Structure 1
Amino acid sequence: MLIFMFKIDDILGEHASLFKEHYYVKPSGNCDLSSMSDPHKEFKGKNVLIERNDSSALASKLGMSIQEYLDILGECKKKLFDVRAKRPRPHLDDKVIVSWNGLAISSFAKASKILKGEPQGTNFNFPVVGCDPKEYMEVAEKAANFIRRHLYNEQTRRLQHSFRNGPSNAPGFLDDYAFLISGLLDLYEFGGSTDWLDELFLDREGGAYFNTPGEDPSVLLRVKEDHDGAEPSGNSVSAINLVRLVSMVSGSKSDHYRQIGEHLLAVFESRLKEMAMAVPLMCCAADMLSIPSRKQVVLVGHKPSEEFENMLAAAHASYDPNKTVIHIDPTNTAEMEFWETNNNKVALMARNNFAADKVVALVCQSFSCRPPVSSPESLQHMLSNKSASSSIV
């Protein structure tokens, strides 16, 4: 955008050469590092600032101390910033879209525990301060709370599609529901909680999910989207959501979700057989559903606590798409009521394995579990030991 374009020599004067060398600015432009750097030739003769050399080496080359070099560089950046600040700003698209935030919720929730396994002292560059993986969970929860507060109607159990200076009039689409439910599942599994799981878009005759609500008068043709492109299709994500729910709840509810998942995939059977490359995420859903018994990792203990956080990070330390992580604090009445309603096996495990002074982990297949462990190292070893399934009791 023009607001970010400068003629460096005119603005920086005597220090322009230092700035240009630091940021690899060339008279012919620097967007030619490869044939893919500028495939449409939009940046011919232009430069995108990039640091390719060490500051100490450049300072030595110019015969100055590193501090003097950095001071001059800082002055140059401030001058350019001040010039930019005086220009009219372009339109800012700052609306909040439920589907995109659902994807972001998933990413930040996962990062909160995956990054916890990084070496001590590792700095993470987002968000804000970025030195504590807990910040990622806070961002995920903030996004989920915003959607619940501003874009979800608890009476109708409906979502609105987006928010800018207030909720939009557009109702939520399939992607909004599918991506948000996926995000909430991740928010729960990686340490938070899940609130609602909605079946609004189930096409009870055809078995798949439509991309728009049936009551929208502006839509003449409703399409069952199945292409996994830059964004996954809502049906693919919905299928995976259903598979995950199958191993989280029990009894008739689990059977119900499995039946819906099987019916959904059956609708796209020909697509999966003939054009599997177009629906990679739906292929993942089909593979996940074909597993006779998904693995459950059940954590029982006081939340929040450092011991619980460490055990939860251990549960997520190894990648396994056929693993579900369930955590429960038996002293939390609301949590116990939730699991007694949706999966009494989990509630029973919590009552039988609770210890006030530690967090207990059970690794199960169809909720038949191996002996409990109470250290992150033991849990990681158990999850990485492929042959340990034979020891289920």
Structure 2
Amino acid sequence: MSDPGNEFKGQNVLIERNNTAAMASKFGMPVEKYDDILGACRRQLFNVRSTRPRPHLDDKVIVSWNGLVISSFARASKILEDEPEGTKFNFPVTGSDPKEYMEVAEKAASFIRKQLYNQETRRLQHSFRNCPSKVPGFLDDYAFLISGLLDIYEFGGAVFWLVWAIELQDIQDELFLDGKGGGYFNTPGEDPSVLLRVKEDHDGAEPSGNSVSVINLVRLSCIVAGNRSDHYRENAEHLLAVFETRLKDMAMAVPLMCCGADMLSVPSGKQVVLVGQKSSIEFEKMLAAAHASYDPNKTVIHVDPTEEEELEFWEENNGKIATMAKNNFVSDKVVALVCQNFTRSPPVTNPKSLEALLSKKDSFSS
């Protein structure tokens, strides 16, 4: 059943059916030695496969797909730093250093901004191959890219990427938002040949633009303050109302939208605010600690008060964050504060202390 074409009849195909510890025990050897043997086998297979003709490369660049990849690399740049020191991977691959992952994410985002974004009209083109295509960006292109830009910022990138994410959200609302009915159409309403504009909701091999947009809106509402924050939450609520029946009757078809609904239902998520100079090693360690535990209702904001443009952004978009940054800046340390339910934790300057603080449910004081 697993070989319908009989391509491997009479041959062996290596497969590991049990976990590493069980197999090491079966063969009476330490787990480390078993891992080394498997690593050597994988390398030998890889070397043989490398001699074969490679499949043809699909070399077009699609904005939406790149948005998903940007998110993955940005997140991995900090999450994988949490691997214990001395971890052996047994089959190393070039470019496996987590420190390089953010560079990959920012390089991809920079390419899209340079080649597929018109800074005058603030609009995206859908794809690139040798040159930008004439096809305008779809909802997925905007939503997935915004998600990627938010991840670049939260996982250590410059506030520039956050500013661009906000700009793209504005143009997404202008082009795709159903102001009366709620939710986003897949296409802008400018092409007369498109007779029916649909609102996609299915989260399959790729998530839907509407599902990703719910999460984007909730995340943005937790970053900025005032009327803009309220606007984002209202749009998220209206979007979910459009798909209410779908969520109730067939939640398994919209799993990511369910995640968005759960995020929106939380009255006050955690805000982790890091204050300090971003060029320091201490900043990297504190940022990795802020992302060490998984919490979808956590927003990580980092501010370097010595950067005038950055501080100006927070003064315009979230005065409380700007004030917090100015009041807690220490030139030779990175200070972390955790805020939730209108209360704030005592400042901490040690990564382990921050991890411990985030692992507790009730660890805040007024």
Assess, with a 3 A threshold, how the Cα gap between structure 1 residues 222 and 336 changes in structure 2: closer, same or farther. same
The CA RMSD over aligned residues, in Å, is 2.6
2:230 maps to amino acid: D
CA distance, structure 1, for counterparts of residue 343 and residue 294 of structure 2: 21
Per-residue CA deviations over 1:268-289 (Å, capped at 9, x if unaligned) read 1111111111111111111111
Match of residue 358 from structure 1: 333
Which of these residues, 236, 241, 245, is aligned with residue 266 of structure 1?
Answer: 241
> In 2, distance between residues paired with 1:106 and 1:274?
30
1:164 aligns with 2:139: no
Equivalent position to 1:196, from 153, 158, 165: 165
Query: CA distance change for structure 1 residues 351 and 50 in 2, over 3 Å: closer, same or farther?
Result: same
1 CA distance for matches of 2:50 and 2:352? 52
Q: Conserved in 2, the CA contact under 8 Å of 1:300 and 1:361?
A: yes
Q: Counterparts of 2:144 and 2:185 in 1: how far apart (Å)? A: 14
Match of 2:67 among 98, 102, 106: 102
2:297 alignment partner in structure 1: 322
Deviation at 1:49, TM superposition (A): 6.8
Letter in 2 for 1:210: F
- Distance in 1 (alpha carbons) for counterparts of 2:10 and 2:236: 51
- Report the count of equivalent residues: 332
Q: Kindly report which structure 2 residues correspond to 1:196-345, keeping only aligned pairs within 5 A, or say none.
A: 196-197=165-166, 198-199=169-170, 200=172, 201-345=176-320
Q: Deviations over 1:33-84 (max 9, x none)?
A: xx4x33x436354868758899xx9xxxxxxxxxxxx9xx98x968983xx5
Structure 1: stretches of 5+ with no match in the other structure: 1-34, 58-69
Cα gap change, 1:362/1:121 in structure 2, threshold over 3 Å: closer, same or farther?
same
Which amino acid letter does the alignment assign opposite residue 339 of structure 2? C
- Give TM-score scaled by structure 2 length: 0.84
Structure 2 stretches of 5 or more lacking a match? 17-22, 28-39
Residues 274 and 309 from structure 1, CA distance in 2 versus in 1: closer, same or farther, beyond 3 angstroms?
A: same
Question: In the alignment, residue 329 of structure 2 is paired with which amino acid?
Answer: F
The 1-side partners of 2:49 and 2:234 are apart by 63
1:122 aligns with 2:87: yes
In the alignment, what sits opposite 1:145?
Answer: 110
Partner-residue secondary structure (3-state), 1:325: strand
- What CA distance in whole angstroms lies between the structure 1 residues aligned with 2:294 and 2:179? 34
Q: How many angstroms does 1:123 deviate by? A: 5.7
Cα distance in 2 for partners of 1:304, 1:167 equals 35
Q: Residue 111 of structure 1 aligns to which amino acid in structure 2?
A: A
- Structure 1 residue 337 displacement after superposition: 1.1
In structure 2, relative to structure 1, the CA distance for the partners of 1:366 and 1:244 (3 Å cut) is: farther
1:219 Cα deviation (Å)?
2.2
Relative to structure 1, the CA distance from residue 122 to residue 153 in structure 2 (aligned partners, 3 Å threshold; closer, same or farther) is farther
TM-aligned CA deviation for residue 91 of structure 1: 4.3
TM-score by length of 1: 0.78
Residues 364-387 of structure 1 show CA distances to partners (whole Å, capped at 9, x for unaligned) of: 015531111111011111000113
The CA distance in 1 between the partners of 2:298 and 2:183, in whole Å, is 25
1:140-199 per-residue CA deviation (whole Å, 9 max, x = no partner) reads 111111111111111111111111101111111111111110011111000013223223
- Would the aligned equivalents of 1:345 and 1:367 in 2 still touch at CA under 8 Å? no
State the secondary structure of the residue aligned to 1:107. helix
Larger Cα-atom Rg: 1
Pairwise CA distance, 1:122: 3.3
For residue 113 of structure 1, report the CA deviation from its aligned partner: 0.5
Where relative contact order (Cα < 8 A, 6+ residues apart) is larger, the structure is 2
CA distance in 2 between counterparts of 1:320 and 1:385 reads 12
- Give the match for residue 136 of structure 1: 101
Counterpart secondary structure, 2:302: strand
Secondary structure at the counterpart of residue 223 of structure 2: coil
8 A contact 2:150–2:165 mirrored in 1 = no
CA shift digits 1:340-371 (9 cap, x unpaired): 11111111011000000100000001553111
Match of 1:43? 7
Aligned 8 A contact 1:105 1:141 in 2? yes
Identity of aligned residues (%): 68
Residue 127 (structure 1) shift: 7.0
Q: Check whether the contact 1:211–1:222 (CA below 8 A) recurs between aligned residues.
A: yes
Query: How far apart in 2 are the matches of 1:297 and 1:77?
Result: 45
